[in-house]
Amino acid sequence: MAGSKMSLLLAVVLVLSEMLTGASQAGLEMDPYKVLGVTRSASQAEIKKVYKRLAKEWHPDKNRNPGAEDMFIKITKSYEILSNEDKRANYDRYGQTDDTQAYGSGRYGHRHDSFYFDESFFNFPFNSKTHRDFADSKFTLHFNQYINDVVPDSYKRPYLIKITSDWCFSCIHIEPVWKEVVQEMETLGVGIGVVDVGYERRLANHLGAHRTPSILGVINGKVTFFHYAVAKEHLRQFVEDLLPQRLVERVTDKNDLQFLNSWHEINKPHVLLFDQVPVVPLLYKLTAFAYKDYMQFGYVDQGLSETANLQKQFNINTYAPTMLVFKENIDKPADIIQAKGMKKQIIDEFMANNKFLLAPRLVNQKLFDELCPVKQFHRRRKYCVLLITRDEETFSFGNQEFLSFASTNTKEVVRFAYVYQRLQQPLCDILTQNKDSGQSPPQVVILERRNAAGKVLFKPVTAWNGSEEDKQCLLDELERLHKDPSILIHDAMLPELNNEFASMFVIRWIYASYDYLSEVIDDILHNNWREMMPLLSLIFSALFILFGTVVIQAFSDSSEDKQTKPKTRDGTKAENGSPGAGASRLPKKNFVEVTELTDITYMSNLVKLRPGHMNIVLVLTDASKNILLSKFAKEVYSFTGSLTLHFSFLNIDKHSEWMNTMLEYAQDAMQIDADEDDGGNHKIDYTGYVLALNGHKKYLCLFKPVYTGEDHEGKSSEDEGGATGRLRSSSRDDHPPRKSNRSRSISTLQIHHKLDRLGLWMERLMEGTLPRYYIPAWPGLDKITPCK
């Protein structure tokens, strides 16, 4: 009995070990690093290079090894994981390679593995890999996929995207409606996408989706949110509203000729759909959006009496939708399809076969590239027969005969087109070999494009008047070309074609502005107040600042007007009688604006100064600030009319280190400072220096104060010189002199006269005759912070 128990226990252990081994092997079934043969520190460039080599080696079409297909799948899967930063980080952290597993699932997916709970206890309809909708995984979007694929493709078809997450209770209720809508919209050609916030937080933030569930549409790269109840009719209408409103024109017996005759003006074929329903079918709208650059679309409601003549003229069957395409001949359709249930694939094939007129006009480079593609292989040669003509009435006969000749063409390798000399003169001058850039007679040229850069081989065939001789000559040349392509003996580099529809930019801008305003209004109507608070706060703040500025300015202007006369009368007296009182008055803002150069204004006033602009910086101290600013404002006032000059001041008490660094680049600054230094034992006084700084070209011009002794206030130069001499002699005395009122007045006068010749220096600065000292790089912010 004991032996049987031991054998049973041993069997259980063996089974468990096999299960654990199998599970570990399943977990390590594929290591993308080992499959590609790269290290975990390999760069994206290395991974891409290895992938290209292995994919080429193991491709099933080239490798006949029985296991080549499986190996190729592993290589592709490994590259898909390692080339995506999020997937690679997920694998490095959790060892997870399954796309359907949540990123970081190790934190949640196995949260109860160490507990012996029943699996059904955690079997919610969300957050479970086994219960996740497989259809959603088919449409899962990643950030790079959205940027590289969805956004460019949204210019051809709209996208319907659902924002969801594993822990979203409300997402469960919209699933039945979502599945039904997806099934219908996908067959119509609408792009479908699913973004799981748990996996793609970056993409959700990029789309502006901050809650789940959310449904949004993307068209022309623009995101629009769905704000209504999730119902099939609402979602269908939402997709229709995404499309531009001017895609399909209603056509009746009154405007049919106007619609069809516009082919010459817009240079496009016209498509008419006849159907019994009063509204334009969504499939037709989506087709019109996809081919809007190639065709013009119209819709005929067969239930209206105003369309009876059209139905009779083209013998339309009233029991099935009918689609007609018209080219140059508006009396007879160039192609027709009729079916009870038109499928998207049938319509796409019909449109692709009729995208161009029989002989379209080259109006831009894009059309030229598609009509006359670059030669790729010998068997895929494409030749263009190009008529170079003019748009005057006298040339209409020749143009019409060229069109009739093109309509008889049955060769797929030959395309016919024409161009107006007046609108594409550079192209025509090269092909006609006309050096005078004048209007030459109509001519037919056969050309073959060789590369995308513009190289072509061509041959002028004949002058074209539309006669039978011209037609026969062209026909003979085409027969020779079919037998011997080397008859194209000339080569040239063609310029890019002018866009003849560029004048419609203003109209497109108006339409885009209208769509943008509509979107803003829609967002305002449907967003809740919590989401609108940042925008409302910004608007009210701007209004408050604007209103406050206007009110303050109004009161300040009125007060200044009242005090103008007393200030002007007292100005001379204060300046003559009491220099200290006169110097304490800062210049008014309407006199000249001088800002302080600090670490806040340093970037805008110097480093990022626009080209051609210059900042004039006055160097001062706290003691001399009022005096020098008043004198500086008067000296530079006559130069304030220049928009390229900015005026600032620098406090040397705070920024002496920055000033020393700047003057090291001036060639003669050290010599002058050495003379003023008296042996280098005293601190250099930069008070009154003026720097002209060019932030863009990185150079400075230097003004050094010179005391002239010129007394503009009524004092003689001799008195000032004597006063100066007495100050210098007293400074050599052993005892420190007492600062009397007289000495303070003389010191103030000296500071005032430091900028006497600044006006002459400014004139030389404007003339460009001052020496320039170039700066390798402006000193950093640490050079202008206050020294503590």
778, 661 Cβ separation under 8 angstroms: no
Over residues 633-654, the mean pLDDT reads 86
The answer to whether residue 156 is domain-embedded is yes
pLDDT at 8: 54
Structural domain including 231 reads: 136-242
**Tell me: the pLDDT tens digits for 39-57?**
888 888 888 888 888 888 8
The answer to whether residue 76 is domain-embedded is yes
CA distance 385 to 362: 12
**Tell me: the pLDDT tens digits for 275-315?**
988 999 999 999 999 999 999 999 999 989 999 999 999 99
The answer to whether residue 217 is domain-embedded is yes
What value does the mean pLDDT of the chain take?
77
Over residues 157-184, the mean pLDDT reads 89
Instruction: Kindly write down the DSSP assignment for every residue of 195-230, as one continuous string.
Output: EETTT-HHHHHHHT--SSSEEEEEETTEEEE--S--
Could you tell me if 369 and 347 lie in one domain? no
CA distance 406 to 401: 9
Could you tell me if 214 and 344 lie in one domain? no
Helix (H) or strand (E) holding 59, with range, is: none
CA distance 413 to 483: 13
CA distance 518 to 527: 14
Could you tell me if 629 and 750 lie in one domain? yes
- Confidence tier at 586 by pLDDT (50, 70, 90): very low
Could you tell me if 349 and 371 lie in one domain? no
- Confidence tier at 499 by pLDDT (50, 70, 90): confident
Query: Which range (78-82, 513-517, 584-588) has the least confidence?
Result: 584-588
Instruction: Record the tokens describing residue 225, joined without a space.
Output: 């949110």
Which residues, at least 6 apart from 222, have a Cβ–Cβ distance to it below 8 Å? Answer: 515, 519
Query: Which range (97-101, 125-129, 301-305) has the least confidence?
Result: 125-129
Domain boundary among 322, 354, 386: 354
Could you tell me if 621 and 762 lie in one domain? yes
Could you tell me if 322 and 404 lie in one domain? no
Say yes or no to pLDDT of 218 above 80. yes
CA distance 183 to 196: 20
Strand order in the sheet with 248-250: 248-250, 296-301, 270-275, 322-326, 335-338
Could you tell me if 350 and 378 lie in one domain? no
Could you tell me if 337 and 369 lie in one domain? no
- Indicate the Cα dihedral angle 398, 402, 403, 404, nearest 10°: 100
CA distance 691 to 699: 10
CA distance 582 to 626: 9
Domain boundary among 482, 499, 516: 499
The answer to whether residue 212 is domain-embedded is yes
The answer to whether residue 430 is domain-embedded is yes
Which position has the higher pLDDT, 493 or 738?
493
The answer to whether residue 304 is domain-embedded is yes
| Dihedral sign from CA coordinates of 260, 266, 269, 275 | negative
Helix, strand, coil fractions of the chain, as percent rounded to 5: 50, 15, 40
Residue with tokens 């059309």: 367
**Tell me: the pLDDT tens digits for 319-364?**
889 999 999 999 999 999 988 878 888 899 999 999 999 999 998 8
Nearest to 51 by CA among 33, 66, 63: 33
CA distance 754 to 761: 13
Could you tell me if 342 and 481 lie in one domain? no
Which residues, at least 6 apart from 203, have a Cβ–Cβ distance to it below 8 Å? Answer: 141, 142, 143, 146, 195
CA distance 223 to 256: 36
Say yes or no to pLDDT of 587 above 60. no
CA distance 788 to 785: 9
172, 136 Cβ separation under 8 angstroms: no
Angle between helix axes 170-188 and 282-290 (nearest 10 degrees) is 70
- CA geometry: angle 405, 410, 415, nearest 5 deg: 70
Helix (H) or strand (E) holding 416, with range, is: strand 414-420
pLDDT at 520: 63
CA distance 274 to 322: 5
Instruction: Kindly write down the DSSP assignment for every residue of 123-172, as one continuous string.
Output: --SSS-TTTS-HHHHHTB--HHHIIIIIHHHTTTS-EEEEEE-TT-SHHH
CA distance 458 to 384: 9
pLDDT at 203: 92
300, 307 Cβ separation under 8 angstroms: yes
243, 219 Cβ separation under 8 angstroms: yes
State the chain's maximal CA–CA distance in angstroms. 133
Which position has the higher pLDDT, 322 or 534?
322
Tell me how long the chain is: 788
Over residues 442-446, the mean pLDDT reads 91
Q: Count how many domains the chain has.
A: 5
Could you tell me if 765 and 619 lie in one domain? yes
- Confidence tier at 754 by pLDDT (50, 70, 90): confident
The answer to whether residue 737 is domain-embedded is no
The alpha carbon of 110 is separated from its chain's Cα centroid by a whole number of angstroms, namely: 43
Instruction: Record the tokens describing residue 384, joined without a space.
Output: 């263009």
405, 474 Cβ separation under 8 angstroms: yes
- Indicate the Cα dihedral angle 267, 272, 277, 278, nearest 10°: 50
605, 614 Cβ separation under 8 angstroms: no
Q: Tell me the CATH number at 43.
A: 1.10.287.110
CA distance 249 to 285: 11
- CA geometry: angle 718, 720, 721, nearest 5 deg: 65
- Indicate the Cα dihedral angle 352, 356, 358, 362, nearest 10°: -150
Domain boundary among 332, 354, 376: 354
* Residue ranges in 424-528 assigned as alpha helix (H): 425-431, 468-483, 505-526
Instruction: Record the tokens describing residue 326, joined without a space.
Output: 């018209």
| Dihedral sign from CA coordinates of 565, 567, 573, 576 | negative
Instruction: Record the tokens describing residue 179, joined without a space.
Output: 């599945």
Could you tell me if 373 and 349 lie in one domain? no
Which residues, at least 6 apart from 691, have a Cβ–Cβ distance to it below 8 Å? Answer: 616, 617, 619, 650, 662, 700, 701, 702, 703
| Dihedral sign from CA coordinates of 651, 657, 662, 664 | positive
Residue with tokens 């006084």: 685
Q: Are strands 335-338 and 322-326 parallel, antiparallel or unpaired?
A: antiparallel
- Confidence tier at 193 by pLDDT (50, 70, 90): very high
Say yes or no to pLDDT of 746 above 60. no
CA distance 161 to 195: 7
Instruction: Record the tokens describing residue 149, joined without a space.
Output: 């694929």
Say yes or no to pLDDT of 751 above 70. yes
Over residues 468-477, the mean pLDDT reads 89
The answer to whether residue 788 is domain-embedded is no
SS in 3 state form for 104-135?
CHHHCCCCCCCCCCCHHHHCCCCCCCCCCCHH
Give the type of residue at 481: L
Say yes or no to pLDDT of 691 above 70. yes
Q: Tell me the CATH number at 478.
A: 3.40.30.10
Burial-class residue 292 by CB neighbours within 10 Å (0-12, 13-18, 19+): middle
How many CA atoms lie within 13 Å of 462's alpha carbon, on the beta-carbon side? 17
36, 71 Cβ separation under 8 angstroms: no
Highest mean pLDDT among 155-159, 169-173, 457-461, 752-756 belongs to 155-159
CA distance 547 to 1: 98
708, 756 Cβ separation under 8 angstroms: yes
Which position has the higher pLDDT, 172 or 112?
172
Say yes or no to pLDDT of 741 above 60. no
626, 586 Cβ separation under 8 angstroms: yes
Residue with tokens 């608007």: 539
Say yes or no to pLDDT of 114 above 70. no
Q: Are strands 490-493 and 455-463 parallel, antiparallel or unpaired?
A: antiparallel
383, 375 Cβ separation under 8 angstroms: no
Instruction: Record the tokens describing residue 427, joined without a space.
Output: 């192209």
87, 101 Cβ separation under 8 angstroms: no
Could you tell me if 55 and 203 lie in one domain? no
